[in-house]
Structure 1
Amino acid sequence: MARPVVGIIGNQYLINDQYPTHAGGTMNSEAVSHVADCVPLVIPSDPRIVSVDELMEVCDGFVLTGGRPNVHPEEYGEQETEKHGAFDRARDAIALPLVRACVARGQPFLGICRGFQEVNVAMGGSLHPEIRELPGRMNHRMPPDGTLEEKFALRHKVRFSENGLFHRLMGAREVMTNTLHGQGIKRAGARFVIDGWADDGTPEAGYVAGAPGFTLAVQWHPEWDAANDPVSRPLFEAFGAATHAFAAERRAAPVARRA
């Protein structure tokens, strides 16, 4: 039987500052294929091209990837400022309603970095535009120089709630993660449970309470070295298991209706 299909939310980029593309990082596809054991499919995240309903029929699960553009503050009722950075309103128009639809249907998704923030905003939460400017916070942004290995190196601890969902999944209360983000959660959305924090109090892990499907999201980038990292691997394996289960149930449904 064919592997389940995971839609990887793409970002808009210009190649050579001229040619427009929809793209997803290779490491996302590798993690989906090699660790979650699913077929990766990069999605052109633009409502002029695809609809949420179509995506949910084509794909069994979704990875909400990181990306340089930020969720537009109008999506959580605030005014745009220079600190909010670049935006991708087309992705906003796909990703936010997709999160809400998946929560309602029980279709699995994994949120990563911007994806973590999208889940929060989709559930009614808000974001800080620049958390390193908040009192007592560290700089969570990607180092400007160095190799990829240096940029994705483990840089801070994340502590999970005692006996919480992430604690049980990881088998540890505290883990080390990379960090490559400028924004962070200001107010948690309704039902979005913050289940992990950096030492400076920045929310780093969460899920949607009461959702019938897999809704885990993290602020770091677990796609980096996902096959070997002891924190990344169980996260993608759990997402893959949930996607396989959803796909099997969906494929069995037409047979049950015909019986």
Structure 2
Amino acid sequence: MSRPVVGIIGNSYLMNDQYPTHAGGTMNSDAVANVSNCLPLLIPADPRYVDVAELLEVCDGFLLTGGRPNVHPEEYGESATDAHGEFDRARDAITLPLVRACVERGQPFLGICRGFQEVNVAMGGTLYPEIRDLPGRMNHRMPPDGTLEEKFALRHVVNLTEGGVFHRLFGASEVMTNTLHGQGIKTVGKSVVIDGHAPDGTPEAIYIQDAPGFTLSVQWHPEWDAANDPVSRPLFQAFGDAVRAWSAGAMPTPVRQSA
């Protein structure tokens, strides 16, 4: 039996400072293929090449990946500043309507880092351009130096809502995660439930209240060592189960705060 297809949202990348490509991190494909047990398919997130309706038909679920460019602040009614960093308007044009369509249809997606932020913006929320500049907040950015192991090392606790969706999934109300992001949620989008926070109050885990499908998203990077990490593994396994259910035609059930 063929595996269900997970569309992995790609990022624009300039190879050798010259050659334009669409790229996807190998660890994303590894987590989808070997933990979710689905077929990873890299999506060129650009409306010149694909449209949302096609993607919804071709793919059973979607992985909204992290990426260096940020969601353009015009997407949530603000003006761009230097603090907002780089942008990828082509990806915005695909992922934001894709999220809304998946929420409506019950088609599963898993949001990671930028993907987490895309979900909030797609649902009408806004973002802070730089978390570390806010009073009382820690620096959540990737360490500038060190090996990949050091950059993706576990760095802070995430406190989960007691009895909530993530608590039930992980079997714990407190988990350790990495952190490699600059931006974060400012105002919460419609029906977005914040189900986990960093110690400084930064939202780290969300889902869409009463959505008819899998809508879990996290601000950290669970794709790192997903097969072995005790937090990443159940997250990608649950995502794979939801994708298989969608592919088999099973009716999704709404995600709720408590059992």
Residues 198-250 of structure 1 show CA distances to partners (whole Å, capped at 9, x for unaligned) of 00000000001111010000000000000000000000000000000000117
> The residue matched to 1:70 in structure 2 has which SS?
coil
The one-letter code of the counterpart of 1:233 is R
1:25 matched to 2:25? yes
Distance 2:131 2:241 in 1: 34
5 Å-filtered alignment, 1:212-223, equals: 212-223=212-223
> The residue matched to 1:249 in structure 2 has which SS?
coil
Distance 1:4 1:192 in 2: 27
5 Å-filtered alignment, 1:103-182, equals: 103-182=103-182
The one-letter code of the counterpart of 2:174 is E
Task: Give the equivalent residue in structure 1 for 2:191.
Answer: 191
Give the alignment's Cα RMSD to 1 decimal.
0.5
> The residue matched to 1:245 in structure 2 has which SS?
helix
Task: Give the equivalent residue in structure 2 for 1:2.
Answer: 2
Task: Give the equivalent residue in structure 2 for 1:56.
Answer: 56
Question: What TM-score does the superposition give when structure 2 sets the normalisation length?
Answer: 0.96
Distance 1:81 1:65 in 2: 23
Structure 1 moving runs of 4+ over 2 Å:
none
Report the Cα offset of residue 43 of structure 1. Answer: 0.1
More helix by share: 1
Task: Give the equivalent residue in structure 2 for 1:238.
Answer: 238
Distance 1:159 1:97 in 2: 30
Distance 2:162 2:174 in 1: 10
Distance 2:108 2:213 in 1: 5
Instruction: Report the number of matched residues.
Output: 250
Distance 2:63 2:199 in 1: 26
Task: Give the equivalent residue in structure 1 for 2:13.
Answer: 13
Question: What TM-score does the superposition give when structure 1 sets the normalisation length?
Answer: 0.96
Residues 37-75 of structure 1 show CA distances to partners (whole Å, capped at 9, x for unaligned) of 000000000001000000010000000000000000000
Distance 2:2 2:31 in 1: 18
Gaps of 5+ in 2: 251-259
Gaps of 5+ in 1: 251-259
1:39 matched to 2:30? no
Distance 1:63 1:194 in 2: 19
The one-letter code of the counterpart of 1:5 is V
Distance 1:101 1:53 in 2: 9
The one-letter code of the counterpart of 1:158 is V
> The residue matched to 2:80 in structure 1 has which SS?
coil
